[in-house]
Structure 1
Amino acid sequence: MGQGQGHSRTMTWLVLMVGLVLQGLVAETQGLACNWGSRASHPLPPEIGVKLLKDNGFDKVKLFEAEAGPLKALGNSGIQVMVGIPNEMLQPLAGSVQAAINWVYQNVSTYISKYGVDIRYVAVGNEPFLKTYKNLYVTTTFPALQNVQAALIKAGLGMQVKATIPLNADVYQTQNDLPSGGNFRSDIHDLMVSIISFLSNNGAPIVINIYPFLSLYADPNFPINYAFFDGTSSPVVDGSIVYTNVLEANFDTLIAALEKNGFGSMPVIIGEVGWPTDGDPNANAEYARRFNQGLINRIMSGKGTPRRPSPPDIYLFSLLDEDTKSIDPGNFERHWGIYYYDGTIKYALNMTNSRSIVPAKGVKYLSRRWCVMSPQASLSDPNLPGSISYACSYADCTSLGYGSSCGNLDARANASYAFNMYYQSVDQRQGSCSFNNLSALTAIDPSMGSCRFEIMIDTGTHDKKTTSGSSRSSRWGLGTAFWFVLGLSSLLIRTN
C-alpha cells in the first residue's frame, strides 16, 4: 500500500466519521416546542422547569407573560422563547408608543442583554378575536401590535425579535365544510387582512391555536377517530385531497384563507395544540397519550399538510397542569399538561430521538401528610356540604367531576379529597385541616386507583402565591367554580 493511497483512505474515513457526527448533531438538535403556563398555586421552580424542558428535548417555549422567574431561568439555556403580552395590556399599548417602548425595554431588551434570553417572538395578546369576547379587543389589538413592532425596531431588535398575535382558529371558517372553502370570518375579514399584511411586511409569522379535543367536547356526534392521527374511519374528501384528521383539515382551512387573500406563502406557527387528561370523560391519559404521541411523531418526521407540505413549528399545549385556571370552559382546563403540576409523568411518551419522557428532578414537597374526613365523622352531619363547598371554593376539585380521575369515589372519599386539596393549597398551614370536627390528618396516602391525593410543592413560603400568567383559559371568568362546588355538594347529599 502506497503512502498516498493510505492517506486518501484515511481522509475518506475522516470525512465519513465527520459526516456521521454531524448527522448525529442534527438529529440531536431537532427539538420540540411547548407552552409553559403559570396559573398554578404551587408552580414548579423555574430552574427545575427549564431543566425539565431541556431533558425532554424542548428547544422552544411560549410564555404567556413576561415573568421574571422563568425568563431569568431561560437565560443562556439554548431554548428559544416566545413571550406574551396579556389581553388586559392591549389598550395601554395601543394608545401609546412610549408604553410599548417601555414594555419592550423592561421585558425584552433587558432579558436579552442582561440574562442572555433567546427571545424570538413577542405574542401581542392571546386569541383576542374570540367570538366570546364580543369585540372587546377588536379596536386595540392591531394598534398594539404596530406599537410593539415599532418599539422592537427602536430597540434595535427588529430583525431578531418578531411581534405577532396568537389567534384562535375561529378567526377563519369555511362555507362548504371543506378546507378549500376557507376564508376569514366576515366580521373581521378586513382587519385580518391588514394584520397579516403587516406581519408579512415585517417578516413575522401568523400564529394559530388549534384544539381537536374541543371539537369532540362540543359535539357528541363528532367522529372520535378523526380527532387523532391514526384514524381513517371518517375521512373528509376535498377534491383530490383526503383528510383523515381534524388538525390537518383545520390547518389547511387557514392556508386556503391565506391563499384567497394573497398570502399563500405566509409562514404559520401552530401556537397551541394538545389534549387534557382529566375533567371530562374524553379527557383522559389514554386519549392524551394517543394524541400527543401522534403529534410528536408528526413533528419529528417533518410532516406537513396537503396544502402546506413543509411542517410548521408546533407548540404543544402544555408542559404542566395549572390548578388555578378558570373552569368556565370545562373542568378539563386545569389538566392540559403532559406532566402533573410538579413535573411527574402522567403517561408514557417517546420524545426526541425516541427517548422516553423523563420527570422533573429536584422537586421538594411539603410534609407527607394528608387531610381526610375523620373516621368518626358522620356523612349525615349538616356541616358536611358547606365544608366541602368551602374547600372547593379555594382549591381545585375538578378531578371529582363526572368521568374524571376521581369521579368514582364514594361520598366519604369525595369529602376527603376536597379537604385535602384545600389543606395542600394553603401549604398545610396549621389549623387548615379543621372542618367543623369533620377532618383529621393522616400519614397514610389515601390515593386510590387513578385518583391522586396531592401533596404540593414546597414553595418556601406559607403565603399563598397568586399568579398572573395569562394562559388560554383567561378568556373566561371565574363564576363556574361556585356552581361546580354546589353540584359537588348536591352529589354528596344524593349519595347519602
Structure 2
Amino acid sequence: MAVLHKPFLVSLLMLLVLFLPNFHVTEAQVGVCNGQLGNNLPSNQDVVNLYKSNGIRRMRMYAPNPQALQALRGSNIELVLDVPNSDLQRLTNADAAHKWVQDNVRNYYPDVKIRIIAVGNEVNPNSGQPTAPLAQYVLSAMSKIYDAIASAGLKDQIKVSTATYSALISNSFPPSHGSFDGASGSFMRPIINFLKNTNNPLLVNIYPYFSRIGNPQAISLQYALFTASGVVAQDGQFQYRNLFDAMLDAAYAAVEKAGGPNVEIVVSESGWPSAGGPDASTNNAGTYYRNLINHVKAGGSPRRPGKAIETYLFAMFDENQKTGAESEKHFGIFSPNKQPKYQLNFN
C-alpha cells in the first residue's frame, strides 16, 4: 500500500470538504410543484410523506394552505410559497402584507423551510390577457412582502420574487436576441431592477412542450426531449443541443437587457404531459422528466455554465380540476393514487 504524506492528506481533506457541500447542493436542485386542483388527491400528510420517500427535497405550493404547511413542519422540505394572483391588489397595502407574512411565514418558519416567496404567477401585462389588470400590482406587492420579510429579520433566509413565463419574452430565437419589449418591457424592467437591488432571483416557468406543439415544423421532438444527437442551433459562441437551454438563455438575455446582468433565474415550472394533446404520451413525458433532471443537476446553460439549475418539475399529481386544454390535467409525475407514472431518480 502506498504511503500518503501528511501534506497530501491535508490537501485531500480540504478538497473533500470543499466538494461535498457543493455536491449536496447540486443534488438538492430539483423540486416538484405541488398543485392541488383535484378532488381525488392524497392528504397533505401523505403528500409530504411521498416527497420524503422519493427524496424530493423541494416543493412549490401555489397558495398558503394551513393544513399543507402544518404537514411540512419538521420535514426539511424547502418551500417556494406563492402569493396567489387573487391577493396581489390587497397586498399592495403594507399592513396587509405584514399580516400575510405573519400568518403564512412567521407562524411556520423555521419549522417549515420557506426559502422563496413567489408574488404572483404568470401575470401578463399585454392588452387582452386575463391577468393584464393585475400587472399594476405585482411590483408593489413584491416590495411590501419584501419589507415585511425584512422587518421579520428574514431577508437573508427567504427570497422574494415573482414567477413569469416565456410568453413575455420577445425575439426568443436565437436566444441572444431575447428581450422584454412593449408592455412586457414596461412591466418587467422595474421588477428586474428590484430583484437586482435586493439580491433576489427571477422565477421563470419554461415549457419546451408548448413551444414544440406550437411550431412542430421548426422544432423537432428530439430537440425538445433532450435526445437530439448533436448541436441543433448555433448562436454566436453558444451551441444548443436542447430547447430547454435555448429558452432559459433567451430569458437570461432578456433579463440582462432589462438591466439585471447578475440576476439569477430559478426555473419554477417545467414539465411534459402524458396525455391529452399532440406529443403527449407517457413515453415522451418520462423521457423529458428523466433528461431534465439529469441535465439541470449536471450544470448550467451555455450562457450560464458551470452551476446546477434550480428547477421545479410540474407537477406532483395529475389534477382533474385544471381548466384549459385536456393536457393540463396530465402533467403529474404521480397519479392521484400515489403510484409513480415514471421511474425518476431525484437523488
Instruction: Report SS of the residue matched to 1:99.
Output: helix
Q: Is the 8 A contact 2:232 2:241 kept in 1?
A: yes
The equivalences for 1:35-114 within 5 A come to 35-94=33-92, 96-112=93-109
Shift of 1:321: 1.2
The equivalences for 1:332-343 within 5 A come to 332-343=327-338
Instruction: Report SS of the residue matched to 1:139.
Output: helix
Give CA-to-partner distance per residue, 1:300-350, whole Å, 9 cap, x none: 32x211111133211111111111111x2x101111111111210112223
Q: Is the 8 A contact 2:119 2:160 kept in 1?
A: yes
Runs of 4+ in 1 over 4 A off after TM superposition: 8-29
Instruction: Report SS of the residue matched to 1:136.
Output: helix
Of residues 202, 224, 239, the one that matches 2:198 is: 202
Q: Which residue of 1 aligns with 2:342?
A: 347
Q: Is the 8 A contact 1:223 1:234 kept in 2?
A: no
Does residue 1:287 correspond to 2:284, yes or no? yes
Q: Which residue of 1 aligns with 2:255?
A: 258
Instruction: Report SS of the residue matched to 2:57.
Output: strand
Q: Which residue of 2 aligns with 1:161?
A: 158
Give CA-to-partner distance per residue, 1:166-213, whole Å, 9 cap, x none: 0011121217x3111111132131331111111121121000001011
Q: Is the 8 A contact 2:37 2:321 kept in 1?
A: yes
Q: CA separation of 1:58/1:134 partners in 2, compared to 1, >3 Å: closer, same or farther?
A: closer
Rg (Cα) greater in structure: 1
The residue identity in structure 1 corresponding to 2:42 is L
Q: CA separation of 1:240/1:118 partners in 2, compared to 1, >3 Å: closer, same or farther?
A: same
Q: CA separation of 1:16/1:203 partners in 2, compared to 1, >3 Å: closer, same or farther?
A: closer
Q: Is the 8 A contact 1:243 1:249 kept in 2?
A: yes
Does residue 1:172 correspond to 2:206, yes or no? no
Does residue 1:321 correspond to 2:318, yes or no? yes
TM-score by length of 2: 0.89
The equivalences for 1:458-469 within 5 A come to none
The residue identity in structure 1 corresponding to 2:31 is A
Shift of 1:46: 1.7
Q: Which residue of 2 aligns with 1:216?
A: 212
Q: Is the 8 A contact 1:90 1:140 kept in 2?
A: yes
Instruction: Report SS of the residue matched to 1:146.
Output: helix
Could you tell me which runs of 5 or more consecutive residues in structure 1 were left unpaired when the two chains were aligned: 1-5, 353-496
Could you tell me which runs of 5 or more consecutive residues in structure 2 were left unpaired when the two chains were aligned: none
The residue identity in structure 1 corresponding to 2:319 is E
Does residue 1:244 correspond to 2:241, yes or no? yes
Q: CA separation of 1:260/1:20 partners in 2, compared to 1, >3 Å: closer, same or farther?
A: closer
Structure with the bigger RCO (C-alpha within 8 Å, sep 6+) is 2
Matched pairs, number: 339
Give CA-to-partner distance per residue, 1:122-157, whole Å, 9 cap, x none: 111111126532622111111111111111122222
Give CA-to-partner distance per residue, 1:107-129, whole Å, 9 cap, x none: 0110115xx11111111111112
Q: Which residue of 2 aligns with 1:276?
A: 273
Q: Is the 8 A contact 2:238 2:303 kept in 1?
A: no
Shift of 1:285: 0.7
Instruction: Report SS of the residue matched to 1:173.
Output: coil
Q: Is the 8 A contact 1:130 1:168 kept in 2?
A: no
Instruction: Report SS of the residue matched to 2:121.
Output: coil
The residue identity in structure 2 corresponding to 1:223 is S
The residue identity in structure 1 corresponding to 2:288 is F
Shift of 1:243: 1.4
Q: CA separation of 1:23/1:168 partners in 2, compared to 1, >3 Å: closer, same or farther?
A: closer
Counterpart CA distance in 2 for 1:314 and 1:185 is 26
Q: Is the 8 A contact 1:87 1:125 kept in 2?
A: yes
Q: Is the 8 A contact 2:61 2:82 kept in 1?
A: yes
The residue identity in structure 1 corresponding to 2:140 is P
Shift of 1:9: 8.3
The alignment-based identity, stated in percent, is 30
Q: Which residue of 1 aligns with 2:295?
A: 298
Q: Is the 8 A contact 1:225 1:234 kept in 2?
A: no
Counterpart CA distance in 1 for 2:87 and 2:335 is 30
Q: CA separation of 1:305/1:26 partners in 2, compared to 1, >3 Å: closer, same or farther?
A: closer
Q: Is the 8 A contact 1:93 1:144 kept in 2?
A: yes
Instruction: Report SS of the residue matched to 1:215.
Output: helix
Q: Which residue of 1 aligns with 2:303?
A: 307
Q: Is the 8 A contact 1:142 1:195 kept in 2?
A: yes
Does residue 1:119 correspond to 2:117, yes or no? no
Counterpart CA distance in 2 for 1:130 and 1:274 is 24
- Cα RMSD, aligned residues only: 2.7
